[in-house]
Amino acid sequence: MDLEPIWLSIKLAIITTFLLLLVGIPIAYWLSRKQNFFKIVVEALITMPLVLPPSVLGFYLLLAFSPNNALGQWLHQHFNVQLVFSFKGLVFASIIYSLPFMVSPIKAAFSHLPKSIAEASYTMGKSKLQTFFSILLPTIKPSIFTAAVLTFAHTLGEFGVVLMIGGNIPGETKVASIAIYDAVEIMDYTAANYYALILFAITFLIVISVFIFNRNAVKSPFE
């Protein structure tokens, strides 16, 4: 059995999760502050991948970044970047598709933090930036961990979006979910079963790790 699709899926999930941690945490914090209509629109757009069929999102990304369209031509001419049928395209599509899994839990955690925590930090002479990194982020560490794990697991099992924008190129865009589909298409159920079992095992371990981490995070010191 060719394990390359498994490693490619893991690589995609790791890169996507890392980039979304960098992007998602500031977005979640910004959304958790005082609400206005613009923020409601932004949050709705971020949440759309949760309810939008993956093939629809993948189709529009394929159109937007196709070399035949203005945006795709501009990226290729000015940055020599081609997102369609490339691993870079998979990363970009995965960031958009998994963004709500990163932003929503962290935004909820920020929203439930008492304002007195930040205010107490300010009275002690800490700046907003110092308060954010040394007080607020450590306080919501379990939510950040949960968001990262959910993002990783969600990216690991993507199919519709990655197939639409990445196609099925061995070693480049053929991730595990596509390998399962290919194996079923040619009735190679043994290979499909191996791929599915590996993804099942990885996902199960990920979910267990979330429960264990969160249980330890909230455990009483008197237990």
pLDDT at res. 219: 55
Q: Is residue 120 part of a domain?
A: no
> What domain count does the chain have?
1
Residue stretches of the chain with pLDDT short of 50: 220-223
Q: Is residue 223 part of a domain?
A: no
pLDDT at res. 109: 94
How far apart are the C-alpha atoms of 103 and 31, rounded to whole Å? 9
Q: Is residue 40 part of a domain?
A: yes
How far apart are the C-alpha atoms of 4 and 139, rounded to whole Å? 38
Q: Is residue 121 part of a domain?
A: no
pLDDT at res. 222: 35
pLDDT at res. 67: 82
Exposure letters 32-54 (e unless 16+ CB within 10 A, then b): beeeeeeeeeebeebeebeeeeb
Closest CA to 32 of 158, 164, 139: 139
Closest CA to 151 of 212, 103, 223: 103
Q: Is residue 123 part of a domain?
A: no
pLDDT at res. 217: 66
Q: Is residue 93 part of a domain?
A: yes
CATH of the domain at 175: 1.10.3720.10
Domain of 150 in residue numbering reads as 4-52+84-110+139-218
- Token pair, residue 171, equals 């070693």
pLDDT at res. 218: 59
Q: DSSP letter at 113?
A: S
pLDDT at res. 175: 94
Give the angle 16-19-22 at the CA atoms, nearest 5°: 145
Q: Is residue 25 part of a domain?
A: yes
Contact of 15 with 87, CB cutoff 8 Å: no
Q: Is residue 79 part of a domain?
A: no
pLDDT at res. 221: 40
Task: Give the other-Cβ count within 10 Å of 105's Cβ.
Answer: 23
pLDDT at res. 220: 42
